[in-house]
Chain A
Amino acid sequence: MRLTLQLVLLAALTACDAPPPEAPPAPTPPPVVEEKAPVGPLSVGELAAAEPVALVPSPLEMQAALKRSGLLGPQGLLVKPRPLKAAGEDHDRLAVRTGVALADLLLIVQTAQTPELVGLLKEIRAGLVALGAKDDALSALDELTAQVQNEALTRDSLVQELDALSGGTLPELEAQLGPRAVPLIRAGSWLEGANLVSSSIIAGGNYDTATDLLRHPGVVAWFQRYVEETPAGRPDQEQLVPILRESLKSLATATAAERLGEAEVRQIHQSTAAVLDLL
């Protein structure tokens, strides 16, 4: 009985503390949309100071540009089989070589025989394994290779898969492969693409198209930054890095010309070939 009385008293006290009933809510004012500050131009110095990351054209994009110029035959770009030299433990060389194989695969996917595609897929896999790719990345590549072997994919679907590998997945592998490998894989793909495009221009003798196809100063400048950051004194890089550095210096001049002519195209072809021959 006493307990009941206490509870009643407690309830009465709580009721006294309770807030008064709320007034009906005021109508919500419309959201305030902040005015955006106008975005002004950036000076060339500001752009350089920002150390922009280069987003390099893909081999398929280079091939499409060649097609628009009327320089691409029905057989596509003539990718030559490239006998590979032993890369040993040189990760830079492995990365550039993997990029070359990826470019070759993208460029011949519509025209090549299945064994050739499988060979390049295995080469890419071996490169990624040596560079430190984990099982999750490799298993997808294995699944794709099996589908190519069984001819379970149309070539159009395969182009799309490889495009997604090159453009979507590769950048995300940076965490597994380290900060240098992905840009150097891109460098390999670009070098192969630029070499093949310059070959096509030389073969067709149509130098008027060169400016639209090969004027890529930002790309070369980006690769130069990476090569300049190479730690000195690694014996396994004694051969590749100096030639890569010299080739990029020459490419920087040729690809930055206001108008590219025969001399620049031949220079691009020669400089890209000098690096590719080392792989």
Chain B
Amino acid sequence: MINLFLRLSLLVALFSVAALVRPVSAGEADDCLRNKMLEGYAQGWSVRTSTSASLKEGESRVYSVTLYKGAEYQIFACADAQAVDVRLVLHDADGQVLLNEDAVDRQPVLTYTAPATATYYVAVHAADTVSDEAKAAIGMAVTWRQSP
């Protein structure tokens, strides 16, 4: 009975109105994200939330995240095949770059333990897509666990 709700969310994605208007390949990003969340449970991660965006090359989406001092966070993204390279960047409240995932891939991951409870910002960049017109579906999740 591993995560009835994550399995259910596949159904919701398939049958919801959103599925009709989102890119056909959005399911690929969603499935990847769901699998990563399931795998995370086995390693003691809990899910804060997940979200998604549809971005063209060069576009970004910024999220604000309040991170707790002493907890370990893993922030990961999954993009569909329209994306070639997706970057995740963690900024502090002043906009300074704290972490920058710079591998060329579609599934970037950041791991961070916050030194203080504060607001941070995660920017998801569609750094490269298969063409100028392509819109990549990118899912992102924030997971957390007690620091070892």
Binding site for B on A (CB under 8 A): 33-34, 36, 39-44, 46-47, 50-58, 60-61, 64-65, 68, 134, 136-137, 140, 143-144, 147, 152-153, 157, 160-161, 163-176, 186, 211-213, 215-219, 221-222
Q: Who on chain A is nearest to B91 by CB?
A: A42
- In the complex, 24 of the A-B residue pairs with CB atoms within 8 angstroms, ordered by the A residue number, are A39-B97, A42-B91, A44-B93, A44-B94, A50-B60, A51-B62, A52-B62, A55-B65, A57-B68, A61-B48, A64-B68, A134-B15, A140-B5, A140-B8, A160-B41, A168-B5, A168-B37, A169-B5, A169-B12, A171-B50, A175-B18, A212-B117, A218-B65, A222-B64
Least Cβ–Cβ distance between A159 and chain B, in angstroms:
8
Q: Who on chain B is nearest to A133 by CB?
A: B12
Contacts of B30 in A (CB 8 A): 172
Q: Is A42 a contact of B123 with CB atoms below 8 Å?
A: yes
Interface size range on B against A: 35 or more
Known: A36-B102, A168-B37. 17 other contacts (CB 8 A): A50-B60, A52-B63, A52-B121, A55-B64, A58-B47, A61-B71, A64-B144, A68-B70, A136-B8, A137-B8, A140-B5, A168-B9, A172-B16, A213-B68, A215-B117, A215-B118, A218-B119
Q: Which 9 A-B pairs have the closest CB atoms?
A: A167-B47, A175-B18, A218-B119, A140-B8, A50-B62, A42-B95, A218-B64, A164-B5, A175-B16
